[in-house]
Structure 1
């Protein structure tokens, strides 16, 4: 029996046949071997699971486990299944169509051993199919409390992805993992950081988040309205936290991020107004005049004007956003 590794990489596998080899190569070529890979085939209809199992079996340098879900469970539940099977003190979520820096494991181990942090947040890059960098997911450079990290998520200055956060496994298992909802990362990250005593932010770019034309974030998905439920859960889990200016910061996450995201994504990505209309109406019905004023007072007058169009009539908003691309 091998000694327990410091880190367990949680790797859900589903419909990633063209990408899984590159992802596993980036993990298996790490400069540190003090980790294990917990790969879970979420009943994938392609050869992703078979390829994963074969690649892991061919090497003995990195400890690994392979689990197959008999039925599709979805991302959140599959990550939890992987975490329950893990032995590491910390867990790291990796999406199986992305890849990581070869020094990722060593860098985050160095950080937790130095700072004794419950979580380490690092920078990432969103990469286009041609290899160009679309944008960076910044982390900063600081040692802060978990509540301060949550404050930064509400403030929109720290992004709530799971893939750029190393978290103590006991904390990861103690939080709710929303099943059947997209944007579940926001809920999970807020809870895990909120339960952390110390969070280390490092500026190192250690993760490549790949932009896929077929990806869930790049195509029209009516489930974008799940964001309403996710933000409600975030509000419930943060309401008792001692966050200065809490109502103002929650307003920022709820309306300036979530409501804007739902409305703009529906208008930009829905192939027809008929498909976008029910989603736009759902946002319009929740919007109040006070919210539009709040956007102005948060130094976002342009957003306030555009969202006022949505309140007047979704068709006006739809045409404007289609014409100007949400600029």
Structure 2
């Protein structure tokens, strides 16, 4: 491989409706020195065939077929196979701007990690309905400590969480032996990035949102329910809190910002219990509510419920007083109102 080659790693699983557009956005890059690693994770639709067809047409593409093992295992296989000097991850239902890799290459310098903004694209029936540029609040080169001083200006807006708005130096990743945890199926990106950041001496934040994170209205409140939401959320936030403590920056402004974000995630856990696709009976929801209000970390962060909007202050008070039935009634009513509102909005799309 020539110098300055970028290994683009895309896990592929049952995305036949999206994968062609994703691949084409990579092949159209103005920086030509790429290898595209398509990791077919046991797809049962035509995704694997589409990948193989593209590989026959362009020698920069390699397809790796594996039994279905999840995105972490797919990315790990991609890391192992990567021969480029740099690594970029892309999700198979997203696309990238034609100049994304070229602009990253112009910014990497001696850094091991680049972070950029991104564009949230809402599609309906394959057409772009709405797009939002999520721009970084600050740009430039930062030492690790300077970066950590601004960590919670980035974290609540999901600039830290994902791997697809980042650019990694391959030697840095491989020499540190960094991999994705295959036992984690939600939040594995964040855990990987925290390990990367912890080992970096400097990080560059790059202007622009050249990654198109694509989603549809099927990702509204009416579509997803996660029975393990509380446990997974606690794992992710505890790992981040420990990361901040370990790096000596869990205090003052950073601590306050993080805990405000944490209590917002607790609010989402309550919302999740009342999701329209929830499989939980009333008694099970109340058991989950009891778990939440009796959790030591929730109680320790209780003060941050009061430094917020009215609904959050009210929920904080009910948590403090262990008002299980009242919390149940509050979110049951609120979720019905919220669903009705979303239903009205969707009719206008």
Looking at structure 2, the residues matched to 290 and 94 of structure 1 have their Cα atoms a distance apart, in angstroms, of 37
Q: Which protein shows a greater Rg?
A: 2
Q: What is the TM-score with the length of structure 1 in the denominator?
A: 0.85
**Which residue number corresponds to residue 29 of structure 1?**
28
Displacement after TM superposition at 1:200 (Å) = 1.3
| Post-superposition offset of 1:232 | 2.7
Does the residue aligned with 1:325 lie in a helix, a strand or coil? helix
Which residue matches 2:228? 223
Over 3 Å counting, the alpha-carbon distance change for 1:145 and 1:252 in structure 2 is farther
Correspondence for 1:132 among 126, 129, 133: 129
Answer yes or no: is 1:193 the counterpart of 2:190. no
Decide whether the 8 Å contact of 2:180 with 2:192 is kept in 1.
yes
Q: How does 1:281-296 map to 2 (within 5 A)?
A: 281-286=290-295, 288-296=298-306
C-alpha RMSD of matched pairs (Å): 2.9
Decide whether aligned partners of structure 1 residues 321 and 143 sit closer, same or farther in structure 2, where only a CA change above 3 A counts. farther
Please list, as runs of the form range in 1=range in 2, the aligned pairs for 1:51-200 lying within 5 A after superposition. Answer: 51-60=50-59, 63-69=60-66, 71-113=67-109, 116-130=110-124, 131-133=128-130, 135-139=132-136, 140-150=138-148, 152-155=150-153, 156-159=155-158, 160-173=161-174, 174-175=177-178, 177-179=180-182, 180-200=184-204
Q: Give the C-alpha shift of residue 109 in structure 1.
A: 0.2
Using a 3 Å threshold, how does the CA distance of structure 1 residues 13 and 120 change in structure 2: closer, same or farther? same
- TM-score where L is the length of structure 2: 0.80
Give the secondary-structure state (helix, strand or coil) at the position aligned to 2:84: coil
> Deviation at 1:284?
2.7
Question: What's the counterpart of residue 338 of structure 2?
Answer: 325
| Contact persistence 2:306–2:316 (CA under 8 A) | no
1:91 CA drift (Å): 1.2
Is the 1:149–1:194 contact (alpha carbons within 8 Å) kept by the matching residues of 2?
no
The answer for unaligned runs of 5 or more in structure 1 is none
Asked if 1:234 corresponds to 2:230, the answer is no
Cα distance, 1:17–1:36 mapped onto 2, change above 3 Å: same
* 171-180 vs 91-100, which moves further: 171-180
CA distance in 1, matches of 2:337, 2:279: 16
1:289 deviates by 4.7
Q: How far did residue 7 of structure 1 move?
A: 1.7
- The 1:213/1:77 distance shift into structure 2, 3 A limit, reads farther
Gaps of 5+ in 2: 342-349
